[in-house]
């Protein structure tokens, strides 16, 4: 949500999203930056979340913009769950953020580690350093892909399908999962193209992504469909787990399902599918996955 458009804030409670990102960066024109900061500070002062409320994040202006410190003076509320640093180049940037935010937490009397990080991976060097960025701080709960800025940095373009995004997607997914963080996909820009969204985000789900940055309420609904197991996947997972449990009761060390032997990787995947489904029904939490 662009922070200078206060009218959008009223829709927060209606969204079936895990988190809401207030943007102070690219979607806010320079002449509206201060208005966006003030809007966000006023909103946070009056906002009363309940225990099931979605997490609030703020996408910050980059270190090199010269606007970061002023952003932080306005948005470091206890009601903000996390910060989205932008234009990250390496893990050294995240180490700087970690020290900077720790000082702000001390100054504001907040517990150390209150603010989580979801850095945007949107430069070529950040893609190459994604694993170290994900492991740079215990605050890093996810890596978010910024595809358009990445393509700009590479001098590439967004084709159909966007083949230029294949490598960074795979790199970010592997790096995030290896470091115990969640990979979050780049926004799908054609906000009225539901079939295109489904096709691209189901592929992201297959790659290991846990979610996607959405640009509209309609995309949120589609994302909740794309990043959960299909009915066929759930049915197969139930069958695998049932076969394993039956084999165990019978004292057999070998389980079969649909004529195939079930190995440990298949069992772990099946149980993960069922855990993901159960978590979504209880209200999925980004920092508990």
Q: What pLDDT digit, counting tens, does each position of 94-116 carry?
A: 999 999 999 999 999 999 999 99
Q: In the structure encoding, which two tokens stand for residue 263, read together?
A: 């190995």
Peptide bond into 161 cis (omega under 30): yes
Q: Is 201 exposed, middle or buried (0-12, 13-18, 19+ CB in 10 A)?
A: buried
Q: Which of 70, 159, 76 is nearest to 115 (CA)?
A: 76
Per-residue pLDDT of the chain (289 residues; tens, 9 = 90+): 999 999 989 888 888 899 999 999 999 999 999 999 999 999 999 988 766 678 999 999 999 999 999 999 999 999 999 999 999 999 999 999 999 999 999 999 999 999 999 999 999 999 999 999 999 999 999 999 999 999 999 999 888 888 999 999 999 999 999 999 999 999 999 999 999 999 999 999 999 999 999 999 999 999 998 988 778 888 888 888 888 888 888 877 678 888 788 878 888 888 888 887 777 665 444 444 3
Predicted pLDDT of residue 284: 44
d(CA 134, CA 116): 12
Give, rounded to a whole angstrom, the gap between the first and last alpha carbons of the chain.
Answer: 25
- CATH architecture entry for 6-226: Alpha-Beta Barrel (3.20)
pLDDT of residue 247: 83
Helix (H) or strand (E) holding 167: helix 166-178
> What local confidence, expressed as pLDDT, does residue 88 receive?
95
- The whole-angstrom separation of Cα 258 and Cα 243 is 10
Compute the distance between CA of residue 276 and CA of residue 154 in angstroms, rounded to an integer: 35
Q: Tell me 32's DSSP state.
A: G
| pLDDT at residue number 50 | 65
Residue reference for tokens 């066929």: 232
Write down the residue that tokens 């970010």 correspond to: 172
pLDDT attached to residue 205: 93
Q: Where are the domains of the chain?
A: 6-226, 231-288
What is the pTM for the complete model shown? 0.85
């Amino acid at each position: 949500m662009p922070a200078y458009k206060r009218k959008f804030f009223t829709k927060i409670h209606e969204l079936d999203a895990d988190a809401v990102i207030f943007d102070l960066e690219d979607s806010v024109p320079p002449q509206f930056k201060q208005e966006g900061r003030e809007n966000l500070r006023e909103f946070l002062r009056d906002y009363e979340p309940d225990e099931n409320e979605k997490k609030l994040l703020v996408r910050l202006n980059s270190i090199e913009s010269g606007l970061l410190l002023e952003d932080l003076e306005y948005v470091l509320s206890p009601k903000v769950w996390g910060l989205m640093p932008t234009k990250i180049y390496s893990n050294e940037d995240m180490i700087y953020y970690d020290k900077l935010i720790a000082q702000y937490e001390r100054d504001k009397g907040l517990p150390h580690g209150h603010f989580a990080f979801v850095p945007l991976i949107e430069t070529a060097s950040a893609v190459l350093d994604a694993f170290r960025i994900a492991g740079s701080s215990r605050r890093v709960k996810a890596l978010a892909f910024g595809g358009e800025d990445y393509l700009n940095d590479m001098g590439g373009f967004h084709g159909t399908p966007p083949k230029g995004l294949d490598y960074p997607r795979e790199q970010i997914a592997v790096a995030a999962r290896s470091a115990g963080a969640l990979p979050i996909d780049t926004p799908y820009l054609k906000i009225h193209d539901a079939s295109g969204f489904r096709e691209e985000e189901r592929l992201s789900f297959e790659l290991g992504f846990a979610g996607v940055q959405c640009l509209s309420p309609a995309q949120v609904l589609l994302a909740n469909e794309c990043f959960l197991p299909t009915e066929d996947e759930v049915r197969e997972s139930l069958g695998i787990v049932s076969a394993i449990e039956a084999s165990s009761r019978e004292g057999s060390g070998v389980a079969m399902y649909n004529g195939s032997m079930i190995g440990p990787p298949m069992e772990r995947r099946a149980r993960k599918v069922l855990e993901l489904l159960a978590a979504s029904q209880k209200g999925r939490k980004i920092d508990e996955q």
